[in-house]
Structure 1
Amino acid sequence: MCGLCGAFGAPDHWSDGVARGIPPEAERRARASAANRVLGLYGLRLAAWGGRYTLSGRTGRSAVIDHLGALWPAAERLAGRPCDPLDPAILDALEAR
């Protein structure tokens, strides 16, 4: 679905908890930044957009993600391979940075 249609009435998810004193959009941007450390290793990028997230790949393909619970299945579809943030090779690459 397009981003505009997806902007109406998405259900709440536990990962969208609100930190005290931080605007929700700033919190979403911080979550996207943290996720991008892993997603970048798969050639993907997550951006906070309109109360949701936009996941995009190097080829221009993208997906609108309602919440972080839907992130990894969408990442695997866009990357065309399994995306495991706990893979020892990924963890080693993150530590090397």
Structure 2
Amino acid sequence: MCSLCGILGGNEHWADAVARPGVFTRNHERVDRRRERARRVSAANTILSAFALQLSDWQGASFLLSSRTGKTEVVEDLGHLWPAAEAMIGRGCDPLDEAIIQRMERQRHG
């Protein structure tokens, strides 16, 4: 997808916190939604670091997935993250891999 489509798309992923009538969220304030998004990026980066990848927020509208060699791809939402990561590294990228989960638990408990 081109960068412009990533900005103009406007379709929220089901996991995104949005302030819209009829949608449940505890994050009614924009700053709270941005904080939640930052937490999700941080959690994704814990997993992605095992694959030498990094995710960053791009204007609160999309994400940038980058490799250590500088290869970068715009990712529309977190639902598209794992297929993009697999395509970027050329192999499977399982966020539920037991070794990765154990690593996250060790980091969480210090």
TM-score interval for Structure 1 and Structure 2 normalised by the shorter chain: 0.7 to 0.9
Gapped runs of 5+ residues in structure 1?
A: none
Change (3 A) 1:13 1:44: same
User: Relative to structure 2, which stretch is displaced further, 4-13 or 76-85?
Assistant: 4-13
What is the letter of the counterpart of residue 11 of structure 1? N
Q: Secondary structure at the match of 2:8?
A: coil
Shift in Å at residue 2 of structure 1?
A: 3.5
Matches within 5 A, 1:56-75: 56-75=66-85
Does residue 35 of structure 1 match 2:19? no
Q: Percent identity?
A: 46
Conserved? CA contact 1:15–1:67, under 8 Å: no
| Residue in 2 that maps onto 1:6 | 6
Shift in Å at residue 92 of structure 1?
A: 2.6
| Residue in 2 that maps onto 1:21 | 29
Q: TM-score, normalised by structure 2?
A: 0.76
- Equivalenced residue count is 97
Shift in Å at residue 94 of structure 1?
A: 2.5
Q: Determine the C-alpha separation between the residues in 2 that align with 1:26 and 1:94.
A: 20
Which digits, 9 at most, give the CA deviation of each residue in 1:4-46, with x for residues without a partner?
A: 3421123221021232335233332221111101001110000
| Cα RMSD, aligned residues only | 1.8
Q: Determine the C-alpha separation between the residues in 1 that align with 2:97 and 2:50.
A: 11
- Higher Cα Rg, which structure: 2
Shift in Å at residue 69 of structure 1?
A: 0.4
Once superposed, which parts of structure 1, at least 4 consecutive aligned residues long, lie more than 6 Å away?
none
